[in-house]
Amino acid sequence: MSGTGDARVGTSATPSQVDGTVRVVVVDDHPLFRLGMVGLLSSLPGLTVAGQAASAAEARELVRPGTADVVLMDLHLGDCSGIEVTRELVAADPDLAVLVVTSNEDDESVAAALRVGARGYLLKSAGPDQVERAVRSVAAGELILGREVAARAMATLASGRTAVRLPFPELTDREREVLDLMARGLDNSTIARRLVLSPKTVRNHVANVLTKLAVPHRAAAIVRAREEGLGVD
């Protein structure tokens, strides 16, 4: 294979598998991408797909301590954030290597994923060789960033800038804006007028916020938002 261009950092961790086979679980709510990834991994020597999950609930049920070596995790799952699922899985099994594979390339998402214990971060545009190297690397205890992600990190360091912590990186900018206005006590109609959106669009954004934050109702979302500094000047 050609040079990786990926950034790796060695650690003292060792793979949990004993027979040399890396057991991988793919978690992604997009069926075509998930099945394509399963097909790729199944074709690689020394890797075996131990399962696949289309939601956070399925991932929690499938990935129990000792059942997998690597989990490929999308950040946007239908019923929850991949950040939160990563936090839960790593807390339950510290030997588990989570490799985030997502379309999000912003610094805040990368920082959030690494903070909760992910060992790698790739964009969905990564080629098959990058995916293979990343899976084998995190299984061997290395921390790896895809080429594009590493380039952004290096640019940030070179410029002397510090990444600003953004609350709820799993939300889109618009969803975060809606949550901020919710936390300020505005109802959907007022939010719609403020953002020049239709009431239906605002309702959809609110529903997405509740889903991604895994909270049961609007009041709980407002509490979470205010704890993170939203809704206050």
- CA-closest candidate to residue 211, choices 25, 32, 85: 85
Task: Tell me the CB-side half-sphere exposure of residue 15, using CA atoms within 13 A.
Answer: 19
> Could you give the CA distance from residue 67 to residue 83 in angstroms, rounded to a whole number?
20
Q: What is the pLDDT of residue 12?
A: 37
Whether 125 and 29 map to the same domain: the answer is yes
Whether 36 and 139 map to the same domain: the answer is yes
Q: What is the pLDDT of residue 11?
A: 41
At residue 183, the 3 state secondary structure works out as helix
CATH number at residue 201: 1.10.10.10
- CA-closest candidate to residue 25, choices 75, 94, 99, 88: 99
Tokens 């995916």 identify what position? 131
Whether 83 and 195 map to the same domain: the answer is no
Tokens 């709980």 identify what position? 220
Contact 183, 225 (CB under 8 A): yes
Quickly list H helices, the chain.
Answer: 31-42, 56-62, 82-92, 107-115, 128-139, 147-159, 173-183, 188-195, 199-213, 218-227
> Could you give the CA distance from residue 216 to residue 159 in angstroms, rounded to a whole number?
42
Q: What is the pLDDT of residue 8?
A: 52
Range of the domain at 103: 7-158
**Structural domain ending residue among the three candidates 158, 191, 216:** 158
**pTM score > 0.75 for this model?**
no
Q: What is the pLDDT of residue 191?
A: 93
Whether 126 and 195 map to the same domain: the answer is no
Contact 140, 99 (CB under 8 A): no
Both tokens of residue 203? 């309702």
What is the full per-residue pLDDT of the chain (233 aa) written as tens digits?
Answer: 334 456 554 443 344 444 679 999 999 999 999 999 999 999 999 999 999 999 989 999 999 999 999 999 998 887 678 888 998 999 999 999 999 998 887 777 788 888 889 999 999 988 999 999 999 999 999 988 877 766 665 555 455 555 555 688 778 888 989 999 999 999 999 999 988 889 999 999 999 999 888 889 999 999 999 988 888 76
Both tokens of residue 104? 């999000």
Q: What is the pLDDT of residue 233?
A: 67
